[in-house]
Amino acid sequence: MISRTAFGSSYKEGWKIFRIQKEQIDLLFQMLYILFIPGNRFIPTRANKKFKENDKELRLVLMGIINKRKKAIETGEGNFDDLLGLLLESNKKEIEEHGVGLSMEDVIEECKLFYIGGSETTSNLIVWTMVCLSLHQEWQIRAREEIIQVFGGTNHEFDGLKNLKILTMILNEVLRLYPLVVMITRATHKTTKLGNMVIPSGVELSLAMMYIHHDCEIWGNDVNEFKPERFAQGIGNATKGKGSSPFFPFSNGPRVCIGQNLAMTEAKTTMAMILQRFSFDLSPSYQHSPFRGVHSSTSVWCSLDSTKDFITFMYK
């Protein structure tokens, strides 16, 4: 979905990028947590060598996708209705009007971030949703009934997704309990007043999303329980009078995640298709043991087991 909607690319090209980036994450863990030596990235270990090889291969693949799109746009054959097209067109105008813009390196980094960020976060949201619905069968039944009522047995239309109120409540509660990112960092670029504090320019602030999403003063004493009904009246009414600000699974403000709407659309569509066709439960061998994993510049919650290991499907 990311390859097609964001880059107008093919599944084959996308799969290659995902494979390389997944391997890079594994290598990064080895480099960070196995060899505690200053400057260890310069030591010619097997992991360091493979990391550099993968980085070079990834750059070539992405440069091929970007150059192919730039050429198509120049000849009038390209379109601007996906992320890469909008990015290149906007950058072209910026260069023409102001003489500066994103370099090829900048565009490549943006593509790398969107590929890995979009796939990791959305897949984690879907997996945790299935875990929660396996643990709470009553909500699985309610979500399925709503989906059948809205779509019946037909394919899903985009306009119908906004009518999935129960599924939206479920996804919001999953995002609260298992946010896609457990912490985000922001830096002040000028002296900033925050409440009673005056923060100088250049200070990094870490916003502990996981902590805030589990604060009983904001969410109530049932903060650690799976209760989608808390979002029945919208996000603003779920936080004990604190408004919508304490709920920020995709960050907030001018730096909000540009993939938020795409991620929620993907999650709703995928869960609707699954619930329409299957019922599922946790495998008896599943052990609930989440841990924090790192991808790109963010941190996400992962599970020790893969989806196939802890979900038992029963075809309906």
- Is 257 annotated to bind a ligand? Reply is yes
3-state secondary structure the chain: CHHHHHHCCCHHHHHHHHHHHHHHHHHHHHHHHCCCCCCHHHCCCHHHHHHHHHHHHHHHHHHHHHHHHHHHHHCCCCCCCCHHHHHHHHHHHHHHHHCCCCCHHHHHHHHHHHHHHHHHHHHHHHHHHHHHHHHCHHHHHHHHHHHHHHHCCCCCCHHHHHHCHHHHHHHHHHHHHCCCCCCEEEECCCCEEECCEEECCCCEEEECHHHHCCCHHHHCCCCCCCCHHHHCCCHHHCCCCCCCCCCCECECHHHCCCCHHHHHHHHHHHHHHHHHHEEEEECCCCCCCCEEEEECCEEEEECCCCHHHHEEEEEC
Binding residue ranges for heme: 257
Binding residue ranges: 257
